Structure 1
Amino acid sequence: MELREREEQENDVVLLKKKKTKMKLIKERKREERKEKLKEEETEELLQDALDAFGRDIMLMILQNLKAHSVALTLLVSRAWNGVASSDTLWTPKTRIMKEDLCDHVWEFHFNEVVPEYWLNLNPYWKGTSPLMHRYFHEDGSQTADPGDKVWGGHECCYSIVTSVVGEGKIREHYVRINRCWPHMLVSRKKDWGWEMSNILYCYSSVPDGHRVGGTGHLLLCV
């Protein structure tokens, strides 16, 4: 009888140990599952689309602080991103040329075909006989050319930027003028997001410099 009771007690102890071991394994498995779930949630948060996370208004505020090249890249992310990144709120200020834009770039200059043949003959753009003519804008409001420029002639030049804005920041009129005696130039952006300024007589184009910070040019194909 005593032997039987002892065996039963030993069996109870074994069963209790097994039960504790099983409970321990269950707890450990649940703990691992919680860890995995947390890891998955963290990964999902990291992979979450920034537009979904922040919303349109905040993303517009963020994109307003980026250069034109960077904003143009976001057009390619998705249809939703394209809808935000193509907003007039973003691009209207970026099509407005400022003094620093003029001064930051070297400008190619050429006459248009409407000018007298004498001026076209002096222009390498049409003759293809030598490097293109260049113009340089300076912080003091002056403009210069390369030494030996046959069109330049050593005369003094100054420039001014004129912009008129209507309600909600919409630009009504925007142009650059070289001296008072020349027609003003309308400002536009090229496909590579470089600058172009032109009138009926001549045209200025920013020399591609996409390799430098704040540059424009061929390193990006805009859509």
Structure 2
Amino acid sequence: MNILDLADKTCLMSACNKQQKNVIQLLLETGSANPNNLDIIQLLVNDGAQNTKDIDGRSPLMKAAIDDWSSIVEYLISQTNICSTSECIEALELLGVARCTRDLQTEAFHYLFRAMKMRFEDQSAPPIHKMVLAPVEAYANHVECQTIDELERLGHNLDALRMETLVVVERLLGTKSAVLYDGLHKIGHFYLIEVKYDRC
């Protein structure tokens, strides 16, 4: 429940404070608590919660990015003790995807650019490279950017940015991902509105 008690706490907040992990799990699983609440996430992290992947291979950080909960993503990637650099990069890329499917290209590019910069930030270690996927005709044979320069060359090329995000989703979540299907649907809808029927 998201109803506040006399101390202005929800059931989930109280369960976190009392370290009642079974209650926390039950509230989250039954949908009785909204996980899109930074205060709750902070309580969970302070209680020792980890960025552990579920049976589908998705971590809380990935789920927050997929659902476009940027404040939670920003908080979790600041927690270097629970999120690796690779996990942070993937989360920023998924935020970029989420913003692109909402037709927020500037924000999409911003997150993709931050992720790309992180791949090359640690001068004492080799860059964190992406797995390159084979070009797909449905994505206009777009090959995902591998460097900051390549990403910058996308510039304000809306079509290339859209294709970039679809390739990112396929690399991170696979071809059978509902996120990919949703992205294809939304981007196809944008092309329909723009009367670019050949791209739909």
Give the TM interval when normalised to the shorter protein.
under 0.3
Q: TM-score, normalised on structure 2?
A: 0.26
Which structure has more helix as a fraction of its residues? Answer: 2
Q: TM-score, normalised on structure 1?
A: 0.24
Greater relative contact order, per chain length (Cα 8 Å cut-off, separation 6+)? 1
Name the larger-Rg structure: 1
